[in-house]
Structure 1
């Protein structure tokens, strides 16, 4: 997303900040606070990329409750109920065999 934003900005198109939703308030505080803490100096340099993007005004961090963290769908092994809940929150439908049968029955009627 950042690369595409950079390319389109080079063509003269303007953009708002990219929203990034995080379920960790400490990480948001670290990224939004310009102070270097003694405990944060040991964080690997590659993790400071997001902090730089926040400081440059490219990304805006927002807190989201862990229950509604949609990224978990792509990054964690989840149970069926949790997967269906997150798929629903994304505005998608789960195409289980039961759902497919219901859809075909609706078309036949």
Structure 2
């Protein structure tokens, strides 16, 4: 079967492949784009430190006390031999009251 030198049928396959790749690229850009309309979080919405302890076990015990009181909390370890217990701002007053009565250190 002779090849017709004036025919452009050999370009159809690569053109379709290129078009599909471009469509996939646009789809991926749309799917994984960051939401620029999302408002940044205000500082008062972030976790607030309520206690700093020298032992990890004390921080875990205080966190258990907070959990028993229905207060969500987490622990961070910013340095060696230091553990901070953090709570949400709406629970800060109750957590501070519990921290004053906590004797786990």
TM-score of the superposed pair, with normalisation by structure 1: 0.19
> Which structure has more helix as a fraction of its residues?
1
- Structure number, greater radius of gyration: 2
> Which structure has more strand as a fraction of its residues?
2
